[in-house]
Structure 1
Amino acid sequence: MAKVAFLGLGVMGYPMAGHLVKHGHEVTVYNRSAAKAEKWATQFGGKTAATPGAAAAGQEIVFSCVGNDDDVRMITIGENGAFSTLPVGALFVDHTTASASVARELAAIATKEGKHFIDAPVSGGQAGAENGALTVMCGGDEKPYAEAEKVIKAYAKSCRLMGPAGSGQLTKMVNQICIAGLVQALSEGLHFAQCAGLDGAAVIDVISKGAAQSWQMENRYKTMLDGKFDFGFAVQWMRKDLSICLAEARNNGASLPVSALVDQFYAEVEKLGGSRWDTSSLIARLQPKAG
């Protein structure tokens, strides 16, 4: 069992940190809102710390799951950041969906200080975090990854090292690119079915048995038809992720015309008041009265 810290208790981090306690690890948490950290400690029995640095002191592994690149830098190399107290030889594992460049930047700093950094974004959403069934894609060196993987298994159904620092974030970008295209196609298909006078549910029942099948189709079609969009990853966060994908594509020369278009469609959804709707709300722009 490991002595660990977890920084960031949002909809993902809160249950992930809880799974670490349930698997016998000694856990100290930090959250920007101290009240939420206290609530977590009351529920799971772990400890709290007032700053990232205080949480990281003396730990074997520090995990984090925050909002974006700036947030990751703040909790690692900012004032009272975790890197200032993380012991030599210890690991920092970042589950934030962020850029590959910030992962490489922090990995270089950690290495210079005799520490280890693993970028480890996750897929599976809030339900995956709560059920301990996340998919974790990692970037970093093999030896520290092997140590981290043993602990990550507390909340993951799948965990894999994809390559050097930044590779986990690049893999998560592929994940988001694929989801964006799938949800837009599903939105158009359901919209077409309705315009054609077909029973949308019956259509999905038939085509989901064939080549068109996807997780999005089976888990989101009903709520999309009902115009209800509070069941998953928020539009504002998807737009953040797609902006990372598009920026990386400009650097590596990849062509992402569909992703760029879907990002603009999500901007239209935001104008409809859907910043906090889940990503399946793309259908709302085709049916303005939905939602």
Structure 2
Amino acid sequence: MAKVAFIGLGVMGYPMAAHLKNRGGHEVTVYNRTQAKAAKWVEEHGGSFAATPREAAEGKDFVFSCVGNDDDLREVTIGENGAFHSMKPGSVYIDNTTASAEVARELAAEAEKRGFHFIDAPVSGGQSGAGNGILSVMCGGDPEAFERAKPVIECFGRTVRLMGPNGNGQLTKMVNQICIAGLVQGLSEALHFAKKAGLDIDGVVEVISGGAAGSWQLQNRYKTMVEGKFDFGFAVDWMRKDLAICFEEAARNGAKLPVTRIVDEYYKEIQEMGGGRWDTSSLIARLDRS
């Protein structure tokens, strides 16, 4: 059993922290900007909550965070009441936020100065993956620190892999988001076409899912896409935030992302339709409206 803190109890962090407590049996202290949510988590799962990230991190072996963006991450780490001010030597900070590789390297360097480790560890698998504790976790950091942290991360991660030095976890998550953007657009067009052609959608999916067109998105999202239900899952607003990070990194490394840029514009249309909080599979809505 380890002493663990979890900072950020959003749709992903809330169940991830619960798996650390219930599945891992760890001693967990949580922090959330809205304290009532932290109190609710403790009421449901036990443990304790702290008034600040600094208080939450004090004396802990491992500190996790899952917040919104680079600025939020800096605030909970090196801000006035940030966790970095109280972390003990040799401890490990594991950040599950989808953020930039640049901020991961920045915070890793700061952690090293202070005598502890930083691992960038963004996740994939969505709200359902977090709830079921079967996320994919792509990590960047020191190998020894990773090996110490891996059994703890596995409380909510089915696939946990070190991708290289700090920043490589975030770069791998960018690859994931680029894949999803193109895949969901292709699936949207395919289902839209199938409907227009008058085909039995369930039958089409059964036939093609066993071949080269099969995917997690096809299996798990086709029914809700056809039904026009998008009030769940990973929000369009967050996807556009993630794609902006991809474009910034591509500008640095020279990668060309023509299809991803087109799909990002389509997501902008979804936002203009009022769908900023819709699931990313809502790309089909812009096709079906015409």
TM class by shorter-chain length?
A: over 0.9
Deviations 1:17-69 (A, max 9, x none): 11111121111111000000000011111111000000011111100000000
Runs of 4+ in structure 1 deviating by more than 4 angstroms, as ranges, are none
In 1: Cα distance, 2:53 partner to 2:287 partner: 44
- Which residue of structure 2 aligns with residue 12 of structure 1? 12
Cα shift at 1:200: 2.4
Structure 2 counterpart of 1:94 = 95
Residue equivalent to 2:189: 188
Using the TM superposition, give the Cα deviation of residue 201 of structure 1 relative to its aligned residue in structure 2, in angstroms: 2.5
Counterpart residue number, 2:139: 138
CA distance in structure 1 between the partners assigned to 2:187 and 2:151 by the alignment: 37
1:209, distance to aligned residue in structure 2 (A) = 1.8
The residue that corresponds to 1:204 in the other structure is: 205
Query: 1:25-174 counterparts in 2 under 5 A?
Result: 25-174=26-175
Shift of 1:96: 0.2
Alpha-carbon distance in 1 for matches of 2:151, 2:188:
39
Quick one: distance in 2 between partners of 1:25 and 1:282? 40
The range that moved more, 40-49 or 200-209, is 200-209
Distance 2:53 2:182 in 1: 37
Matched with 1:239 is 240
Gaps of 5+ in 1: none
Residue in 1 aligned with 2:219?
Answer: 218
- Please give the per-residue CA displacement for 1:60-115, whole angstroms capped at 9, x wherever unaligned: 11000000000000000001100011111111100000000000000011111111
Cα separation, 1, equivalents of 2:3 and 2:120? 19
Question: Normalization by structure 2: what TM-score?
Answer: 0.98
Q: Distance in 1 between matches of 2:200 and 2:236?
A: 27
Whichever residue aligns with residue 5 of structure 1, its letter is A
| Cα displacement (A) at 1:208 | 1.3
Following TM superposition, by how much is the alpha carbon of 1:231 offset from its aligned partner in structure 2, in angstroms? 3.2
- Equivalent position amino acid for 1:10 in 2: G
CA distance in 1, matches of 2:195, 2:57: 54
Give the number of aligned pairs.
Answer: 289
Give the deviation of 1:204 after TM superposition: 1.6
The separation in 1 between residues aligned to 2:18 and 2:210, in whole angstroms, is 37
Q: Which amino acid aligns with 2:257?
A: L
Q: Distance in 2 between matches of 1:50 and 1:97?
A: 24
1:222: how far off? 1.0
- Which one-letter code corresponds to 1:39 in the other structure? K
User: Separation in 1 of the partners of 2:234 and 2:95?
Assistant: 19
Aligned-pair identity in percent equals 67
**3-state SS of paired residue (1:286):** helix
Q: What residue is the counterpart of 1:177 in the other structure?
A: 178
In 1: Cα distance, 2:143 partner to 2:211 partner? 39
Task: Give the counterpart letter for 2:205 in structure 1.
Answer: I
Cα shift at 1:126: 1.0
Partner of 1:280: 281
Distance 1:156 1:220 in 2: 22
Structure 2 CA distance, aligned partners of 1:175 and 1:106? 23
1 CA distance for matches of 2:72 and 2:152? 23
Could you tell me how far 1:168 is from its partner in structure 2?
0.4
Q: Deviations over 1:187-214 (max 9, x none)?
A: 0111112222322222222211211111
What's the offset of the Cα at 1:288?
1.6
Whole-angstrom CA distance in 2 between matches of 1:222 and 1:267: 23
> Aligned AA for 1:53?
R
- Give the residue type in structure 2 aligned to 1:35: A
Of 187-196 and 36-45, the range deviating more from structure 2: 187-196
CA distance in structure 2 between the aligned counterparts of 1:100 and 1:137, rounded to whole angstroms: 12
**Matches of 1:272 and 1:287 in 2, distance apart?**
13
Q: TM-score, normalised by structure 1?
A: 0.97
CA-CA distance at 1:185 after TM superposition: 0.2
